[in-house]
Amino acid sequence: MSKLQNPVQMAVIGAAHGIKGELRVKTFTGDPLALADYGPLHTKDGRTFQILDIRPAGTVVVVRFKGINDRNAAEALAGTELFVDRSVLPDDGEEDEFYHADLVGLEVRDDTGAIGRVVAVHNFGGGDILDVTLAGRKGVLIPFTQAAVPHVSIADGFVQVDPLAAGLVDDEESEAPAGSGFDPKGRPRGPKDAGGNR
């Protein structure tokens, strides 16, 4: 298989499940079962995986892939990242919605210029958070709200942050703890997961 032109990560394979080759898989789709809707899944090294069966199991799904028939074969796949080409994903054109994969790697700017780079997007249940590496600091988490990140330009390769709303500077008048990132007026922007959902 040729390399994907514009890969978007859909899932990562976890531990083997049972003895018949089934695997626990963490998906990055809004509906975990939708992983089967995108056709064959691909690895960075060119392997292709076809889903034969998928069912929910708590926070993950249990998947049976074609050609993986025993526990040993399944265990060898732990940690494998699965991708599809961007061309198979829906493009609904809504403003203020972004795929997580689009945000990772973008430059982070404030009023003074470039201050860092987005290294990951997390969601621990309270909304999406940008994991940003700043010059001179190990890293910070910034809430992905309209107030904290007022401008996103995928085409130009950057996000604009408001240092106060993003919790990067202290606010003497704020009731929220300095650096907490709490923004009571912030409206969730909701980057889309790989499945196009918020």
Residue 126 maps to a domain = yes
120 and 84 part of one domain: no
Residue 181 maps to a domain = no
**CATH code (residue 116):** 2.30.30.240
105 and 78 part of one domain: no
Sheet of strand 81-85: strand arrangement:
48-49, 41-42, 81-85, 7-17, 22-27, 60-65, 51-57
For residues 37 and 81, give the distance between their C-alpha atoms in angstroms, rounded to a whole number.
Answer: 17
User: Which residue from 47, 24, 49, 23 is spatially nearest to 38, judged by alpha carbons?
Assistant: 49
Tell me how far the alpha carbon of residue 33 is from its chain's centroid: 17
Distances (CA, A) of 83 to 46, 50, 194: 10, 12, 10
Element at 102 (helix H, strand E): helix 100-103
83 and 115 part of one domain: no
Residue 196 maps to a domain = no
Q: pLDDT at position 60, please?
A: 85
Expressed as residue numbers, the domain containing 77 is 7-88
Beta strands 158-160 and 41-42, pairing class: unpaired
Number of domains observed in the structure of the chain:
2
For residues 82 and 13, give the distance between their C-alpha atoms in angstroms, rounded to a whole number.
Answer: 8
Residue 78 maps to a domain = yes
Tens place of pLDDT per residue across the chain (198 aa): 456 777 778 888 999 999 999 999 988 776 788 888 888 999 988 899 999 999 998 878 999 999 999 999 999 999 999 988 877 776 655 555 667 777 878 899 998 999 998 887 777 667 788 888 987 667 888 988 889 999 988 888 899 999 898 888 865 544 444 444 444 444 445 555 554 544
Residue 175 maps to a domain = no
84 and 114 part of one domain: no
CA–CA–CA angle 35, 99, 83 (5° rounding): 40
Residue 174 maps to a domain = no
